Amino acid sequence: MEILIDALYINNSGGLRLLEYLVSSLQNKSIEFYLLADMRCSGKFNTCKHVRYMNASLRERKKFYETKKNRFSSVLCFGNIPAPIHLDVPVFTYFHNINLLTLDEAHSFTVKVKSWLKREVFKYYKKNTNYWLVQTSNTANELCQHLGESKDRVKLMPFYELPEGVSEIAKQPHGDDYVFVAVSAPGKGHEELLDAWRLLHKNGINKRLHLTVQSDSILSERVKEVQKEGVNVINHGVIPFNEVFDLYKQSKAIIYPSHNESLGLGIVEAITAGCDVIGSDLPFLHSICKPSQVFDSFSAESIADAVMKYEQGGTQKSELTIYNHIDELIELLNKG
């Protein structure tokens, strides 16, 4: 009997990073598992003993489960959607896309409709999972609210992989800059952050802000506009993590104006690297750390005010309040 890791619909970004970490952790512990992987990841997991690449189709997924259902001792549905049929073994569904629950940040009608339909799929299949696994208490609360789940069916199980060497940065001298490591996406708060840096510039505070926004995005053009005003902002574009290391070393604090996050891995990385966090005064932030300063993420004035208070000194050092549960997750799956 094997553990089934159903990773359909996982094919990029943070979800794929988590999947790669989970697979390598299972392999390191010599745990027997079968990986159902998204066709868009074809070839990425060929080191797995048992792997099947499949188109992310509800119909094909159901056929797979009907054919293989007696092969597995437990199931982890890693792509947010519970099993398509009832199984006689424990089924855990890892939910890590909070934007599918909270539709407010979707800027287009089409995205809102697609996200709403996906949420209805979650509701329809939720009877086929024993437990939902989530990264933070904030995601747990959102899931209970929007899917009508009871709290006893939701388990906190954050796990993440920090690149080797991050903790060593905390032991080194840091510069005096600020940084926000995130691509341009709805709800990340870049616009408000740029407006806040303009306000700081007008008030004679010219601290350098590092961004990692896609060079071909509309936001990248906005960065160029504020640069022409003399605002001290540098956009490095999308960069490899060894270069992100350098940005952490140059910075004393990360600015995090996001409106919501399933986890906020950038916050975890930054604190581990020795940076403070000045972030949104929202549940997602408080569910993973004790920040040094908070602000209203929808207000440029509030962001600028938080930075000015931080510059005055006397604030607490930021502190993580979660830890990596990868061993507990594997134990949960292995118990069957």
Confidence band of 104 (pLDDT split at 50, 70, 90):
low
pLDDT tens-digit series, residues 5-31: 999 999 887 889 899 999 999 999 999
- Predicted pLDDT at 214: 94
Q: Residue 144 burial (CB < 10 Å; 0-12/13-18/19+)?
A: middle
Least confident among 117-121, 144-148, 207-211 = 117-121
- Predicted pLDDT at 113: 76
pLDDT (mean) for 137-147? 91
- Which domains are seen in the chain, by residue range? 2-157 (3.40.50.2000), 166-320 (3.40.50.2000)
Confidence band of 109 (pLDDT split at 50, 70, 90):
low
**SS3 for 273-303, per residue?**
CCCEEEEECCHHHHCCEECCEEECCCCHHHH
> How many angstroms separate the Cα of 125 from the Cα of each of 62, 84, 148?
11, 6, 13
Spacing of C-alpha 52 from chain mean position? 26
CB 265 within 8 A of CB 286: no
Q: What are phi and psi of 271, to 5 degrees?
A: -65, -40
* Assigned token pair, 29: 């512990």
pLDDT (mean) for 126-143? 94
> How many angstroms separate the Cα of 170 from the Cα of each of 80, 192, 291, 310, 317?
34, 28, 16, 19, 12
The CA-based diameter of the chain, rounded to the nearest angstrom, is 68
CB atoms inside a 10 Å sphere around CB 117 = 10
Nearest to 297 by CA among 245, 243, 248, 260: 260
Confidence band of 97 (pLDDT split at 50, 70, 90):
confident
Q: Is the pLDDT of residue 305 over 80?
A: yes
CB 39 within 8 A of CB 57: no
- Predicted pLDDT at 73: 96
Q: Is the pLDDT of residue 291 over 70?
A: yes
Q: Is the pLDDT of residue 107 over 60?
A: no
pLDDT tens-digit series, residues 157-167: 999 999 888 99
- Predicted pLDDT at 14: 80
pLDDT (mean) for 71-100? 93
Mean pLDDT across the chain: 92
pLDDT (mean) for 31-46? 95
Q: Residue 99 has what DSSP assignment?
A: G
Greatest mean pLDDT range, 22-26, 100-104, 117-121, 183-187: 22-26
- Predicted pLDDT at 51: 95
* Helix, strand, or coil (residue 185): coil
- State the residue for tokens 């800059």: 177
Q: Is the pLDDT of residue 313 over 80?
A: yes
d(CA 220, CA 225): 9
pLDDT (mean) for 213-237? 95
- Predicted pLDDT at 336: 66
CB 69 within 8 A of CB 87: yes
